[in-house]
Structure 1
Amino acid sequence: MSIDHYENFPVASILLPAALRPAVRSLYAFARGADDLADEGDADPATRLAALQAWRSAIQDLGSRKAVRAPLPAADLAMFQRLGETIHAHHLPIQPFLDLLSAFMQDTHVPHYADEHALMDYCSRSANPVGRLMLHLTGATSPRDLAESDALCSGLQRVNFCQDVAIDQAKGRCYIPLDCLARHQLTLPGLADLCRHPPAQAPAAWQAALREQARIAEQLLRAGSPLAWRLPGRFGLELRLVVHGGLRILEKLAAGQYNPYANRPILTRRDRFLLCWRAFCRPRPRPTPARLTHHDT
């Protein structure tokens, strides 16, 4: 298993309370479906953008408690009907859904990011809304809860970016900030060449750049980790497994000498046993300094 494409979303896991599983399934269906509109298939950017705009209109209709008016396929309309029931039953805010869609729309025309600020702004809309919606399902929505959830979600996405460099390059994207590449005398054409001809050992400059990005991801995961140990019951345990999963990917990335082109890190069956041991038996990871921010949704 890998941490990608919303697979870190706890999809109706047996660890989740049974009463929340239908709601989680409907949230996942929306997030994955929107992600697929932005990424999958061979549609041109304009077609992808139009489809995502139709989804945005549908979400706005749900927020106004109106019937969905956008001309959508029957399967999509059924998904939005289930999502509307979840939104209204659990009093979920609409803004996180709109934030997700804005990030997916951005994916249709923004292939790379200039610096940390721009990348973290993207993470705040492409990853953090998922955690916020999950917290709203459980009622854990204090400013501290939301800020730590944001750090965890951004950290997990930054793990994805380190893990999936080659996959993203194949889609014409790069989620390593351009200023980071410049600090290490790297270029986008050079990374594309690495993708086409993956070396047995990554160049030292590339290892240094990816080590820097992995360190940021780890800091974010550790900064948000108190949430996973503070939330009670099954949901807290689920979140602890997710935290340790992200940290384990980073361990494997380092063991592979920061060369995801040739050694993309994934979690194996053996790793799952390790994660369970860590989630049950280890103290929570010690936080390292990372800025936590909060904005209301």
Structure 2
Amino acid sequence: MTLETAYAACRRIARHYENFPVGLLISPPLRPHIHAIYAFARLADDIADEGYDGSPAGPIPPERTVPGRLAALRHFEEALRNPEDAAEEPVFVALHDTIRRFDLPIQLFLDLLSAFAQDVEKRRYASFAEVSDYCRRSANPIGRLVLLIHGQRREEQLAASDSICTALQVTNFWQDLSVDLLKDRIYLPEDEMAEFGVSEESLFARCAGPAFRRLLAMEVERAFRLFDGGYGLMKTLSSPLRWEIELTWHSGRRILEKIVDLAFDTLHYRPTLGVLDAPTLLAKAFFRIRDGSSAMQPQVLSALRS
């Protein structure tokens, strides 16, 4: 298998990215390597996420059972550790070439697999510390890998990237609450649910009452602060990487703004980015227009105080 064929396969996978553009503004020579990392993460995440849905219609396909998905993720780990065992798998052929060229730490990829394996079996989170640890392994490695490919290795840059990536991950959680409930998966921390008087039963009943809205307002406020905490990263980068991360930063915050506009009811509605969002997001990314901090969001403060 040629490297050209392998990278082309990764590029096709990357085209299906949902919320945030994959490598849209990345320098063309580096774009195939971003696609390779994304394709690895996307396929592994799909293995973790697309298990048996409880439907009684026929036998359960073995690859969709918990043991089947964990076995598939173990294969990913073996292919990651042993390049010769994955010589005919295009994503791994491209990925190993990228790892060699940029001297990328394999631990970042192992962290991703660890998070995906956790997703197969763990469906509840006791505290935000548990959620944060999951984000450390499921989202933060991607940001670090992007920086490393661009030769950005300073610790303060990596820490700022972690803040942005954690913000993106929890934003996705609050965006996808209604979808995750269908999979019997709840990322809202149990201790915070108890603090606000929100029960699992009320979530499954789609009860978006005042208690739930206050809880989600608090989670949204924290996500805004995480985005704000990572914004300094952009000042250390040059274009086009800065544009790419600016666009991602503004895209994530735009989802939060849409959650606010829904009065925090993501039990019934799933906010998404659309064509009409693109011009504003691109303008903000190119001209470095930064919205006010979350403290300037009156709807958030109103919900927290009610």
TM-score normalised according to structure 1 size: 0.85
Aligned residues of 1:225 and 1:287 also touching (Cα < 8 A) = no
Question: What residue is the counterpart of 1:35 in the other structure?
Answer: 45
Matched, 1:52 2:73: yes
Match of 2:157 in 1: 145
Helix, strand or coil at the partner of 2:82: helix
Measured in 2, the distance between the counterparts of 1:171 and 1:187 equals 17
Q: Which digits, 9 at most, give the CA deviation of each residue in 1:182-205, with x for residues without a partner? A: 0111111221121xxxx6xx2001
Partner of 1:225, secondary structure, is helix
Is contact 1:229-1:284 (8 Å) kept? no
Tell me if the contact between 2:66 and 2:120 (Cα under 8 Å) persists in the aligned partners. Answer: yes
Superposed displacement of residue 9, structure 1: 5.7
Tell me the distance in 1 between the aligned counterparts of 2:42 and 2:270. Answer: 22
Which string of whole-angstrom CA distances, capped at 9 and with x for unpartnered residues, describes residues 71-118 of structure 1?
x9x5xx221111111111111110110000000000111001000111
Q: Are the structure 2 counterparts of residues 288 and 251 from structure 1 closer, same or farther at C-alpha, using a change threshold of 3 Å?
A: closer
Provide, for residues 156-205 of structure 1, a one-character-per-residue CA deviation record: whole Å limited to 9, x for no partner: 001001100011111110111011110111111221121xxxx6xx2001
What SS is found at the alignment partner of 2:92?
helix
In 2, distance between residues paired with 1:27 and 1:272? 25
Task: Please tell me whether residue 226 in structure 1 is matched to residue 243 in structure 2.
Answer: no
Q: Larger RCO: Structure 1 or Structure 2 (Cα < 8 Å, ≥ 6 residues apart)?
A: 1
Tell me, yes or no, if structure 1 residue 125 matches structure 2 residue 137: yes
**Counterpart in the other structure of 2:193:** 181
Q: 1:232 to 1:207 in 2, by over 3 A?
A: same
Correspondent of 1:114 among 119, 126, 138: 126
Give the paired residue count: 269
> Is the counterpart of residue 90 in structure 1 residue 102 in structure 2?
yes
Identical aligned residues as a percent = 40
Q: Deviations over 1:6-49 (max 9, x none)?
A: 64564232x11011111011111100000011012531111111
Q: Is 1:162 aligned to 2:174, yes or no?
A: yes
Aligned partner of residue 233 in structure 1, secondary structure: coil
Structure 2 counterparts to residues 190-229 of structure 1, below 5 A: 190-194=202-206, 202-229=208-235
Question: For residues 23 and 282 of structure 2, what CA distance do their matches in structure 1 show?
Answer: 18
* C-alpha spacing 1:8/1:93, structure 2 compared with 1 (3 Å): farther
**Counterparts of 2:148 and 2:294 in 1: how far apart (Å)?**
26
CA distance change for structure 1 residues 39 and 287 in 2, over 3 Å: closer, same or farther?
A: same
Indicate the residue corresponding to 1:26 in structure 2: 36
CA distance in 1, matches of 2:103, 2:294: 34
Q: Match of 1:209, as an amino acid? A: L
Secondary structure in 2 matching 1:114:
coil
* Residue pair 1:223, 1:287 contacting (<8 A) in 2 also: no
Contact 2:125 2:186 in 1 (8 A): yes
Q: What one-letter code is carried by the residue in structure 2 that aligns with 1:213? A: E
In 1, are the aligned partners of 2:19 and 2:272 still within 8 Å (CA)?
A: no
Q: Which runs of 4+ in 1 moved over 4 A?
A: 285-289
Q: Which blocks of at least 5 consecutive residues in structure 1 are unaligned? A: 290-297
Look up the equivalent residue of 1:224 and give its one-letter code: G
Residue 271 of structure 1 is matched in structure 2 by 277
Contact 2:39 2:91 in 1 (8 A): yes
Kindly indicate whether the alpha-carbon contact (under 8 Å) linking 1:9 and 1:28 is maintained by their aligned counterparts in 2.
no
Partner of 1:68: 85
Distance 1:171 1:212, change over 3 A: same
Unaligned runs of 5+ in 2: 1-15, 53-63, 296-306
Matches of residues 229-248 of structure 1 in structure 2 within 5 Å?
Answer: 229-248=235-254
> Match for residue 295 of structure 1?
none
How far, CA to CA, are the matches of 2:213 and 2:101 in structure 1?
Answer: 48
